[in-house]
Chain A
C-alpha cells in the first residue's frame, strides 16, 4: 500500500537578491540549507551502506562467482545465466505460477478491501463498527509464521472446518494437500488476514466525501445500493485506481511470506513462485550465487519497469505520479 500526496506546493528555489553567477548562487543555496542536509545524513548513509552498495553486487548476475576471487575479480561470463534461465522449463513454470497467482490476487483479493469499506459505511452503530474494525485489522499485525500455524491447525483434517463439513454431511477435505484447493486457500487466507487492513484507506476516502451529495441522493429517493453506485464509488474512484495500479505494479510479488510458510511437499510445485524459487536455488538445491542473483535481477528489473509504467499511468489518470 502506498500513499500519495496530492497537494502540490509552490516552493521553488528562492530568488536571489542580486544577480550573481549561477554557480555561486547554487552553492550559496546549498550552504543555506546545510542543516537540512544534516538531517538527511543518517538516512543517506543508510541507503548508501545497505542499498546502493548492494546494487554493485548485481554484477554477479553476469559473472561466474568464485568465493576465492570475490565479486570484483570473478570472471565475466555475459548473459550465460540468463540463457540458462530462459531455457529451463521449470523457470517458466515458476514464472507462470507467479503471474497466475498474482493476477488471481488482484481479481479476488483486491476488491475485498473496497467491499469491506463500503459495508462498514453502512453500519450505523459506532461502537459495533469500532469493535469489528479491531477484529478485522488484527490479523494484519501478525506474521505469516504465526498465521500459518493458526491456519494449518484450523484446516487440519480433524480441525474445526472439517468437523463442520462432516456434521453437515459433507466429505472431509485435505485442504493443504489438494492441488486444486491450495490456490483458493491462499487467496482466502490472505483476504482473511489483510482485507480488513486494506479497507482502512478506502474508509478514510469515504469519510472525506461531501455529505451534501448523499443528501441530494436521498431527496431523489435513491436506495442504499444506488447511493453506493452513483455517489460513493465515483467519489473514491481515484483512490481505487491508485491502489490498483500500485498492485499491478508489483505483480511479480506473489506473496513470499505466505507461500513459504504455508507450502508443503505435495503442493509445492503448484504454488512455487519466483521468490520461493530464488530462495531454493540460493540455499537449497545446487546453490549458485551468480545464477540466483541473475534470477533476482530479472525479477527486480521487471518489477521496476512495471512500476515505471504504472507511474506513467497514474500521472495520466490523476495528474500526479506515485513516485513524486
Chain B
C-alpha cells in the first residue's frame, strides 16, 4: 500500500511538470495574440501584460488595408486545392505499386526513388530546370515541384505492405486488373494512412515559402508564408547604405503589433483545423510504423 502511494506522488509531480511544459508551449502563442491586439503606443509604454487593457483592431486593420494578405490567402488556397489531390494520387499510386514487390525492375525503381531523398541537384540546377520548363513566376512551378514526396510514399507503401495478400489474389481470380484492385479494394482500406499523408501534404503546402521565394517574383502571386516573411522581415536588413531618402521611406517596416497580427492571421487556419485531424494522423502513423 505504502509503495503505491509513493508512486502516485511521483506521478503527480510528473503530471504537473508535463502540464507546465504544455503551458510553456502554448503561452508564446497566447502572448503573440495579445500583442496583436495592442496599439503600437501601448506596447511601447508597457510591453508586457497578461491581458490587454484597451484591445484595438488597428493592427488587423492595417494588414487588411491592402490586398497583400488576401492575395496571399488566394494563392495558398489555389495551390492547396490543386496540389493536394495531385500529390495524393501520385504518391498513393506509387506507394501501392512499390508495395507489390514481385515485378521486374521493382528493386531498381524503389532504390532510384529513395535515392532522390538523400541526393539532389541543388538549388541552382533545379532553378535552371524550372527556367527551362518555362515555369518561373507561375503557380505551376510550386504545384509541380514536390508534388511527389518520397517520404510520404514510403508511409503509404509500408501500410499497403501490412495488408494481407489474399485480398489481391481473390480479386485477381475474378479477373480484375491492378488498377481496379488498387482503386476498389486497397484505397478504401487505406483511409487512415491517406488522411495522414493528406494532412502532411496540406501542412507542407500551407507552410511553403522557400521555393516561392526562389521562383515567384511577382508579389501578387506570393503564398501566405512569403507575405508574412516579408512583414516579419527578420532575415533581411531593410535599410542599406547609400540608399536615398525617398527609397528608405518606400521600404516598409512594421511595428510589432502588426507583425504579430500577421502571424495570427497566418496560423489561425492551422490552429482551427488541427485538433480535429489529430486523431487521424495518430492512427495513421501508428499503423505500419516502427514496432520495437
Which A residues form the contact surface with B (CB < 8 A)? 2-7, 9, 11-14, 26, 29-30, 32-33, 35-40, 42-44, 46-47, 49-58, 60, 71, 119-120, 122-124, 128, 131-139, 141-143, 145-146, 148-154, 156, 158-160, 163, 192, 196, 200-201, 204-205, 207-209, 221, 223-224, 235-239, 242, 257, 260-265, 278-279, 282, 289, 292-293, 296-297, 300-301, 303-304, 307, 323
Contacts and interface: CB of A to CB of B under 8 A. Distances in A.
Contact of B28 (A7, A154, A207, A293): A154
Top 9 A-B residue pairs of the complex, sorted by shortest distance between their CB atoms = A57-B125, A54-B121, A296-B122, A158-B47, A143-B207, A43-B94, A35-B178, A33-B103, A163-B48
Interface size class of B (residues with CB under 8 A): 35 or more
B1 interface: no
Contact of A300 (B97, B98, B122): B122
B90 A42 contact: yes
Contacts of B232: 145, 148-149, 152
A82 B102 CA distance: 43
Interface stretch (B57-65, B77-85, B245-253, B263-271): B263-271
A263 B235 contact: yes
A43 B125 contact: no
A132 B17 CA distance: 11
A205 to B, nearest CB: 5
B191 interface: no
Contacts of B275: 134
26 contacts: A4-B158, A5-B288, A11-B102, A30-B104, A35-B177, A43-B94, A49-B144, A51-B121, A52-B116, A57-B129, A58-B122, A122-B14, A134-B278, A145-B225, A146-B266, A149-B228, A149-B259, A149-B260, A150-B263, A158-B48, A200-B285, A208-B291, A239-B290, A257-B210, A260-B235, A304-B119
Interface in B125-156: 125-126, 128-129, 133, 144-148, 151, 153-155
A46 B104 contact: no
B104 A261 contact: no
B125 A152 contact: no
Nearest to B266: A146
B93 interface: yes
A289 B124 contact: yes
A43 B96 CA distance: 12
B7 A224 contact: yes
Interface string B269-292: 011001100100010011011111
A144 B17 CA distance: 26
Contact of A141 (B119, B124, B270, B291): B270
B29 to A, nearest CB: 6
B118 A304 contact: yes
Contact of B123 (A50, A238, A265, A296): A296
Interface string B17-33: 11101101111110110
B185 interface: no
Interface in B146-179: 146-148, 151, 153-155, 157-158, 161-162, 165, 177-179
A14 B165 CA distance: 14
Contacts of B119: 55, 300-301, 303-304
A2 B154 contact: yes
B215 interface: no
Contact of A143 (B3, B104, B209, B288): B209
Given A148-B232, A224-B7, A50 B126 contact: yes
Contact of B234 (A7, A9, A53, A264): A264
A60 B124 contact: yes
B290 A150 contact: no
Contacts of B114: 323
Given A7-B161, A11-B165, A35-B177, A57 B121 contact: yes
Contacts of B111: 323
A138 B199 CA distance: 13
A30 B108 CA distance: 14
Contacts of B260: 149, 153
Interface in B202-254: 203, 206-210, 225, 228-229, 232, 234-235, 237
Contact of A51 (B17, B116, B292): B116
A13 B105 CA distance: 11
Nearest to A225: B10
Contacts of B225: 143, 145-146
Given A132-B18, A204-B286, A260-B235, A300 B161 contact: no
B289 to A, nearest CB: 5
B31 A153 contact: yes
A19 B10 CA distance: 70
A153 B28 contact: yes
B184 interface: no
Contact of B263 (A35, A131, A146, A262): A146
A5 B93 contact: no
B91 interface: yes
A132 B22 contact: yes
B25 A135 contact: yes
A200 B282 contact: yes
Contact of B94 (A39, A122, A149): A39
A159 B97 contact: no
B274 A119 contact: no
Contact of A133 (B146, B256, B278): B278
Contacts of B146: 50
A226 B122 CA distance: 48
A251 to B, nearest CB: 12
